[in-house]
Amino acid sequence: QVQLQESGPGLVKPSETLSLTCTVSGGSVSNYYWNWIRHSPGKGLEWIGYIYYSGTTNYNPSLKSRVTISVDTSKNQFSLKLNSVTAADTAVYYCARYHLVTAIDYWGQGTLVTVSS
């Protein structure tokens, strides 16, 4: 059974960088597309982007200028960096596995990140 677990700070100051890591167990990151998704009361569920194990990325244009997703196959992890955060970036952040045909099949538990001074 594939499991995903997000980790990282729950509080980030405005203008700083949000950094989260997703650790994958029960399967390898060396396949599939690995995604970040966030959920906020104001915007609902919002897809942030994905990385393929080869390093190919695809980002939501609305966030593209501020987002970097990377993968570390040796640690079976992938990571999210979102810079220049504002209160509008406050959300529950999920990592998730995505398949081109069957969409998202596994989600992490989610982690609340609050942007506040």
Between 16 and 92, name the residue whose CB sits nearer to another protein. Answer: 92
Nearest approach in angstroms of CB 95 to another protein is: 11
Nearest approach in angstroms of CB 40 to another protein is: 12
- Dihedral sign for Cα 15, 109, 67, 55, please: positive
Nearest approach in angstroms of CB 45 to another protein is: 4
Nearest approach in angstroms of CB 60 to another protein is: 4
Between 16 and 66, name the residue whose CB sits nearer to another protein. Answer: 66
Question: Alpha-carbon distance 37 to 95, whole Å?
Answer: 6
Collapsing DSSP states into helix, strand and coil, what is residue 87?
A: helix
Contacts with 35 (C-beta within 8 Å, 6 or more apart), sequence order: 47, 48, 49, 50, 95, 96, 97, 98, 104
Between 15 and 58, name the residue whose CB sits nearer to another protein. Answer: 58
**Site residues, another protein (CB under 8 A):** 35, 44-47, 58, 60-62, 94, 98, 100-105, 107-110
Radius of gyration of the chain measured on its C-alpha atoms = 13
Amino acid, res. 107: W
Between 101 and 117, name the residue whose CB sits nearer to another protein. Answer: 101
